[in-house]
Amino acid sequence: MTSLVNLLDFDPVQLVAYCGSLGEKPFRAKQLQRWIHQFGASQFDQMTDLAKSLRDKLATRAIVAAPAVISDHTSTDGTRKWLLDVGQGNAVEAVFIPEENRGTLCISTQAGCAVNCRFCSTGKQGFNRNLTVGEIIGQLWMAEFELRRTKGIEPGPRGERQITNVVMMGMGEPLLNFEPTVTALKMMLDDNAYGLSRRRVTLSTSGVVPMIDRLSQECPVALAVSLHASNDALRDGLVPLNKKYPLSELMAACVRYLEFAPRDFVTFEYCMLDGVNDSDEHARELVALVRGGKLTVPCKFNLIPFNPFPESGLLRSKNPRIKAFAGILMEAGIVTTIRKTRGDDIDAACGQLAGEVQDRTRVQERMQKQEEYKRKFGDNFGRIVEISS
């Protein structure tokens, strides 16, 4: 028996090719795409303007299947979080953040994350695998039509769109799963699917420089960079990827990207960590980084209050410190916002997307053992220490 093809895996061009392989004309692909992505249809007999012969072909060859929902929680502030099954003990999370004039969906591109930033609980889970196109776009497909169903809003272009903005800031580093991520982006932007503007789709990266350049050529959308440090020594410890692509290379890549980007600035995400990266000196270093060198990087800063978790050994900066830090950036003429924490009560806030997910790499267990050994043998256990002769 041949395995069924998941139509969520195809971008618009691939869907035309697939219909061609069934002996169908290109306009059938557009019809099919609208039924799937504008009406949320998953059964072919619902697609009434498709020829019955095509519906019969599809019924034996294809499916429309998003990842199954394991749990669905709504926060007191309206934030909604879904835990989604992607098979073999892996799960990912998608988070919807409603605001007065927009609805933002935060989606995942990997199960777990290999970047392992020190302040991110998702990274402590370890990396399991890349998501497929259908698993990435399936998060948007599921969320849009589930939100409509909950509110009693009809599917299709006449019904009010619930998700106006998408951010690839969930689990994983999108640029380390490049092809499936870009294929999903193309479907988000297509007028016969979700019709989102490039300005309303944001990809967040920890700084995979070659792939930032590639994205600028293949599918430029708004860019956010997880910066979190003002110098290389500090960033090496917080974002290990910095050892491969240091700040000077990352800033140059951001400037190159802006030649093709739909927005004329890069957003720098900066997680505020008490006593680690939140001093006045760090703020002044940031100003010098984006304004003072050979390159000027048009940017805005988004300061994120840290969501503490025990294994990180880190604490959230105090509110007065965050405000003082923001003040230095703003005095230098840099647009700076302080992100409101949303969905804390359901672990849906930034960096918390690992709560219910299986810890396949036993990171938690190993970190607990490390703490036990430190208590037994002293704080220097596991460190390389210099012994003077």
Active-site residues, by number, are 93, 350
Strand partners, 201: 166
Give the dihedral of Cα atoms 252, 255, 260, 265; nearest 10 deg: 140
- Ramachandran angles phi, psi of 310, nearest 5°: -55, -40
What lies within 8 Å, CB to CB, of 272 at 6+ separation is 278, 303, 304, 305, 306, 316, 317, 321, 322, 325
Which 3-state string (H, E, C) describes the chain?
Answer: CCCCEEHHHCCHHHHHHHHHHCCCCHHHHHHHHHHHHCCCCCCHHHCCCCCHHHHHHHHHHEECCCCEEEEEEECCCCCEEEEEECCCCCEEEEEEEEECCEEEEECCCEEECCCCCCCCCCHHHCEEEECCHHHHHHHHHHHHHHHHHHHCCCCCCCCCCCCCEEEECCCCCHHHCHHHHHHHHHHHHCCCCCCCCHHHEEEEECCCHHHHHHHHHHCCCEEEEECCCCCHHHHHHHCHHHHCCCHHHHHHHHHHHHCCCCCCCEEEEEEEECCCCCCHHHHHHHHHHHHHCCCCCCEEEEEEECCCCHHHCCCECCHHHHHHHHHHHHHCCCEEEECCCCCHHHCCCCCCCCCCCCCCCCHHHHHHHHHHHHHHHCCCCCCCCCCCC
**Residue keyed to tokens 């998003």:** 66
Question: Is 221 in contact with 201 (CB distance < 8 Å)?
Answer: yes
- Please state, in angstroms and rounded to a whole number, the distance separating the CA atoms of residues 67 and 58: 20
